[in-house]
């Protein structure tokens, strides 16, 4: 009699695609501590027998994480903690698992001048994972970014093609990943970051969570000259950052189309009036194929008539006369600020042009 052990590996892989998993980082409305049932299922299957272990253990270790969540809460909020250091040391010693790891997600929230060992372990592990192609770095603020820059000086990681990172720290470390094809942004993306991105990552094809912001948001960016009035701004819902008025900074528009000649997919968070979409200069992104907008429902303090509907967003994008796919994901009011809400499943898909 046939059993589950007689199934081909291709079918095992197909079955695992339906396992529920935690949502990816830096997407709108992400609950970072959402329980990952996929990992639990793969772990249980890999412990069933030798035959299934050979199949499901590589799937289980395909993604490895060292970050705080509902299972692994931070225990010492006011003192030094060694979670990252312990997890990275364990991974470094498990040499039989190195070839399986393709995605590494870490938080450097603990890292500071007096507690840098975790960052050191993390950076040493980067050199030990031959098949690593996706990297997520959470809480990469100024000090950890500078430490990472000095430690990795002269090194390159050409195998990493997907990166999730805080945009304020991006110019500091982007040069270590010259073959990036996918970048997930955390926070605003200002003209200086756009310039750096185009210079060191010319092959970028997918940009997620894009939100334009003012130049002063980046580490080391020059402030506006004293006495000079700031340009008119539009309020962006996502992360509270500002979206520059498109006509107020013409060089900004030039930076975008020069930096991203190969960009095929872009996703946006927040509120997007017509002039904000115009600032993206969709007409002159020659390879753009997919535009994704995560739209939160109007909050109680907002006027519904001032928030573009999915149909209005479709009409705005249609004016570019581009052939592309527009996806509008509908989120509850308050998202992504309130990450404890219930996700809406509705997605409107429009084929334009």
Nearest partner of 124 among 89, 171, 75, judged by Cα: 89
End-to-end CA distance of the chain: 54
d(CA 211, CA 268): 6
The torsion angle over the Cα atoms of residues 135, 141, 144 and 148, rounded to 10 degrees, is: 50
Task: Please give the backbone phi and psi of residue 69, each rounded to the nearest 5 degrees, phi first.
Answer: -150, -170
Alpha helices in the chain (DSSP H): 9-16, 37-46, 50-60, 83-93, 117-126, 142-151, 170-173, 191-200, 250-259, 274-279, 310-318
Q: Where in the chain is the domain with CATH 3.80.10?
A: 62-71+80-217+231-352
What is the DSSP annotation of 215-265? GGGSTTPPPPPTTPPPPPEEE-SGGG-EEE-GGG-HHHHHHHHHH-TT--E
pLDDT of residue 290: 92
Three-state SS for 25? Answer: coil
pLDDT of residue 161: 95
Nearest partner of 138 among 183, 100, 186, 179, judged by Cα: 186
pLDDT in tens, the chain (353 residues): 677 787 888 888 788 877 766 555 554 444 455 566 778 888 888 898 998 899 889 998 998 888 765 556 666 655 566 888 899 999 999 999 999 999 998 888 778 777 888 888 999 999 999 999 999 998 888 788 888 888 888 899 999 999 988 887 888 888 899 899 999 888 767 666 777 777 888 888 998 887 766 544 333 333 333 333 323 332 222 222 223 333 344 444 445 667 778 889 988 876 665 555 665 667 777 888 998 888 877 778 878 777 788 888 888 888 878 889 999 888 777 665 433 444 556 889 999 88
Q: Alpha carbon 332 to chain centroid distance?
A: 20
Q: What CATH fold (topology level) applies to the domain 62-71+80-217+231-352?
A: 3.80.10
Kindly report the pTM of this predicted structure.
0.77
Q: Are 331 and 296 in contact (CB under 8 A)?
A: yes
Alpha-carbon torsion 132, 135, 141, 145, what sign? Answer: positive
């Amino acid at each position: 009699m046939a059993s589950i052990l007689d199934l081909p590996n291709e079918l095992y892989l197909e079955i695992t695609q339906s396992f529920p998993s935690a949502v990816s980082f830096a997407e709108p409305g992400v609950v970072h501590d959402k329980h990952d049932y996929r990992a639990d299922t793969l772990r249980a299957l890999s412990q069933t027998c030798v035959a299934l272990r050979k199949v499901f253990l590589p799937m289980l270790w395909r993604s490895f994480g060292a970050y705080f969540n509902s299972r692994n809460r931070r225990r010492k909020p006011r003192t030094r903690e060694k979670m990252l250091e312990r997890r990275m040391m364990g991974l470094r010693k498990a040499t039989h698992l190195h070839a399986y790891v393709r995605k590494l997600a870490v938080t450097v929230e603990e890292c500071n001048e007096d507690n840098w060992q975790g960052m050191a372990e993390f950076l040493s592990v980067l050199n030990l994972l031959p098949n690593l192609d996706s990297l997520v770095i959470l809480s990469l603020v100024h000090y950890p970014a500078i430490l990472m820059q000095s430690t990795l000086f002269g090194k390159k990681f050409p195998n990493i093609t997907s990166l999730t990172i805080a945009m304020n720290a991006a110019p500091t470390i982007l040069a270590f990943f010259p073959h990036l094809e996918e970048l997930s942004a955390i926070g605003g993306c200002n003209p200086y970051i756009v310039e750096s991105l185009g210079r060191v990552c010319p092959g970028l094809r997918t940009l997620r969570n894009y939100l334009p912001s003012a130049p002063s948001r980046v580490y080391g960016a020059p402030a506006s000259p004293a006495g000079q009035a700031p340009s008119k701004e539009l309020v962006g819902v996502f992360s509270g950052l500002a979206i520059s008025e498109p006509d107020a900074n013409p060089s900004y528009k030039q930076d975008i189309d020069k930096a991203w000649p190969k960009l095929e997919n872009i996703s946006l968070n927040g509120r997007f009036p017509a002039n904000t979409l115009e600032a993206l200069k969709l007409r002159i992104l020659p390879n753009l194929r997919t535009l994704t907008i995560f739209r939160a429902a109007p909050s109680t303090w907002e006027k519904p008539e001032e928030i573009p509907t999915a149909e209005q967003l479709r009409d705005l994008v249609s004016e570019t006369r581009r052939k592309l796919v527009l996806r509008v994901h509908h989120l509850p009011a308050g998202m992504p600020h309130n990450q404890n809400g219930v996700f809406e499943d509705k997605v409107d898909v429009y084929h334009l042009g």
